[in-house]
Structure 1
């Protein structure tokens, strides 16, 4: 039997007291993710330096190193070429450090044992988030924890649990990732005590995910669960999941009798997505407006983008101002601020790593590797409606998992037993393939189509937004007045009006008083500034 399905004793859930370096530094970094980002990043940097020093000969032969390095250089160039480099330079730290860490993480996590210990540390660390989240729900925890003058962690407090994050959506994605990892550990563990502990964490985490009322978290978690059930051929689970989904949809559409069966927390939140008369349809309207604005930015500068943190500066510079920290779409965010080529580079890097990881899983059938792949799939699916990459803890967590999946394709065990090449790109010079000319031609055509896609999507999305917003009173759309052009009038940002975007952007420069803070600060523009929902209350919470 493969080492992937080896028995895990209860004491194996605890990390090795003296792990080998640089894996030990990465395990320490993973353990501190729920606590504080600063020491976690510091340990990750130390592990990265050591991994490059010890595994450089292995890392340098992989073309993914060149792609990651090229993307990190492009992230820096985007900051320097942005319209306001003083705003863009701090924002680039959300990108290039993680890109340079990724190859080192892949080399350090190339063996199955290091990946198993990483998953164990992450799942154990998620217990802190569960504690904070349930404390917020049951006892109304709110406040900050200090160690002398140093801030350690805190709980925002609100109607929807967010634990130590700034938004319930971020907590939801965090929970989905760790639920996938816990399920993967459960599949490779034979100890009954360990399985019982994992089942308890799965139950508490799933219920807390439901209470976050995050549609993006529900959708990402449902997608990951569906893919896992299909791959494991669990047909009764697929039927149960489909039944629950259809029942929730029927209640949200107000089919007779269904709202008496489905909890109101579920159907009311789903109804907010498409029902203009719903009390919180404003969240959907804000997303549509942000997507249209981002598409217009891409249409104006499709190749170079506007620079990091340019979207909130432009969007919030409207008169009257509208507060929004990002465009609620990871891929539009990268295209608008970094340009379409940078977006394609990110998609190529992520897709290449996932493809190699799925290939390794097909040969090994490792349940833990499947959990990591499902966690990453859920993360990128959530990127359709949120820019979760801007949170430093989630970005570091995603980079660790991408490195682990990358390392699974470098595992010598696959080469010897399963037929997956440990290093599919040997050190000798790369030989040209006959299909290269076709690939280049296809890439050129695709780039041309994508350069025209923003015009088409902006036109379609503009019509959809106008259709939606003409059916609801303005006071139900947003707590802030809408900008001109949302009610069917001519929008101030039409094709060919680049000077208007520049005017909006320059209004948000240092002269006008917009702060330029370091990333990962709670007041930084690169953090999502999402007002919390006020329409969901828990029966056991006393009103404030």
Structure 2
């Protein structure tokens, strides 16, 4: 039942179906089955620490906005929904891992399978286009059942980073490696068909973590890829297609900075961008950092960056295949967020963020528990020998 629930939940996230809200509510309700050992477990403590570090300032900013009687203040219903979707869903996922209802490997298969189905649907949509070719990369933009080419490309980028991590591990059989390569090809075609430059940058960020440019050979390889992309960009009509998008995003970012300077401590409220006096243009800052500061103030932004830095540092120190994979996915997601999304209000982005952070805390917590058990056993052996 847990596997079925998570499959429905994960598949519904890109399409933003109603089942994603129903599945999220059931995941939160699963917390009613938790026990005392769960709440004192290291993964739960880590997730609560890194999440509440920035959620509490969000809550404080909402209080301040209502005290100041701001017309754009975050509604209390939206505030509660945010807490449940970030804190509740993350803790529910950790409960399923804690109880053994689902393993990290099974969860990986679920995510990979759901992304693969979305990729196949998108590629089929692209193949049916009569003028699909490389030059028309930005003219024909597939979106699958996601409903938007940029989020579709974002999910394909996460898929290809996950494939690269599995191939890097080297423990898979020959058949499994061929299957992973086939999945990677589908995700690469999905990125190409989406026409999303952000997806290319997102995938590149994850790859750079998995395969850092630490040798002359890798540096040359990365430079060759970068040069190929630049040549392809100059040889196509992408510049004209990008001009309007780049201009509107720059205007939105400038307006965001102006709005932040007006209310640097309290912010304006979640999803307030279009209701701020003087607003023109697109509907959001398209940058999760600017959106955090604009919605809930600079204190929230600083707290979020501190939590992110601490989590990243601990993952980096762990140095296991799982922690490296999660570090690459976290880096890719952070890059995508700064290019497009909001961790406060974007349904396309928030759920993957919660999943990756929850899994990261699970990896850190279980490693800490193993080290503690090993230390206890070593002390017992030492005491026995001494006696």
Aligned to 1:415: 370
For the pair 1:386 / 2:368, whether they are aligned, the reply is no
The CA RMSD over aligned residues, in Å, is 3.4
What residue in structure 2 maps to residue 177 of structure 1? 158
In the superposition, relative to structure 1, how do residues 109 and 347 fare at CA in structure 2: closer, same or farther (>3 Å)?
farther
CA distance in 2 between counterparts of 1:341 and 1:52 reads 34
* Counterpart secondary structure, 2:338: coil
Provide the residue aligned with 1:295 in structure 2: 257
Partners of 2:28 and 2:92 within 8 A in 1: no
1: CA distance, partners of 2:223 / 2:43: 46
**Correspondence for 2:210 among 225, 228, 231:** 228
Would the alpha carbon gap of residues 94 and 296 (structure 1) be closer, same or farther in structure 2, given more than 3 Å must change? farther
Query: 4+ residue stretches of structure 1 with deviation over 6 A?
Result: 110-113, 417-421
State the match for 1:203 in structure 2: 185
Q: What are the equivalent positions in structure 2 for 1:91-110 lying under 5 Å apart?
A: 91-92=78-79, 95-101=82-88, 102-106=90-94, 108-109=96-97
Larger displacement relative to structure 2 (36-45 or 115-124): 36-45
Give distance in 2, aligned partners of 1:94 and 1:292.
29
Residue number in structure 1 paired with 2:359: 404
Mean alpha-carbon deviation: is it higher for 372-381 or for 185-194? 185-194
Is the CA contact (8 Å cut-off) linking 1:72 and 1:97 kept in structure 2? Answer: no
Of 2, 25, 29, 2:9 maps to 29
Give, in whole Å, the separation in 1 of the partners of 2:197 and 2:43: 41
**Are 1:178 and 1:375, in contact at CA under 8 Å, matched by a contact in 2?**
no
Q: Residue 71 of structure 1 contacts residue 345 of structure 1 at CA under 8 Å; is this kept in 2?
A: yes
- State how far apart, in whole Å, the 2-side matches of 1:420 and 1:384 are: 41
In the alignment, structure 1 segments of 5+ residues that lack a partner are 1-17, 142-157, 273-277, 422-544
User: In 1, Cα distance between the equivalents of 2:93 and 2:35?
Assistant: 9
Deviations 1:368-415 (A, max 9, x none): 432222111011012222115333243112211111111111115873
Offset at residue 49 of structure 1 (A): 4.4
Distance across 2 between alignment mates of 1:28 and 1:409:
27
| 1:170 Cα deviation after fit | 1.0
Q: Which residue of 1 aligns with 2:223?
A: 242
Contact 1:163 1:171 in 2 (8 A): yes
Q: Helix, strand or coil: the match of 1:380?
A: helix
Question: Counterpart of 2:362 in 1: which secondary structure?
Answer: helix
Residue by residue over 1:429-449, the C-alpha shift from the partner in whole angstroms, topping out at 9 and shown as x without a partner, is xxxxxxxxxxxxxxxxxxxxx
Determine if the alignment matches structure 1 residue 160 to structure 2 residue 154.
no
Provide TM-score, normalisation by structure 1. Answer: 0.58
In the TM superposition, residue 288 of structure 1 has moved relative to its aligned partner by 1.3
Unaligned runs of at least 5 residues, structure 2: 131-138, 377-387
Residue 335 of structure 1 is matched in structure 2 by 293
Task: Tell whether the 8 Å contact from 2:150 to 2:198 is kept in structure 1 after alignment.
Answer: yes
- In our comparison, the structure showing a higher alpha carbon Rg is 1
| Deviation per residue, 1:344-372 (Å, 9 max, x gap) | 12222222222222222x2x3x1x43222
1:136-155 equivalences in 2 (<5 Å): 136-139=125-128
1:165 alignment partner, SS class? coil
Provide the C-alpha distance between the structure 1 equivalents of 2:146 and 2:44, rounded to a whole number of angstroms.
Answer: 38
CA distance in 2, matches of 1:346, 1:298: 16
Distance 2:324 2:274 in 1: 36
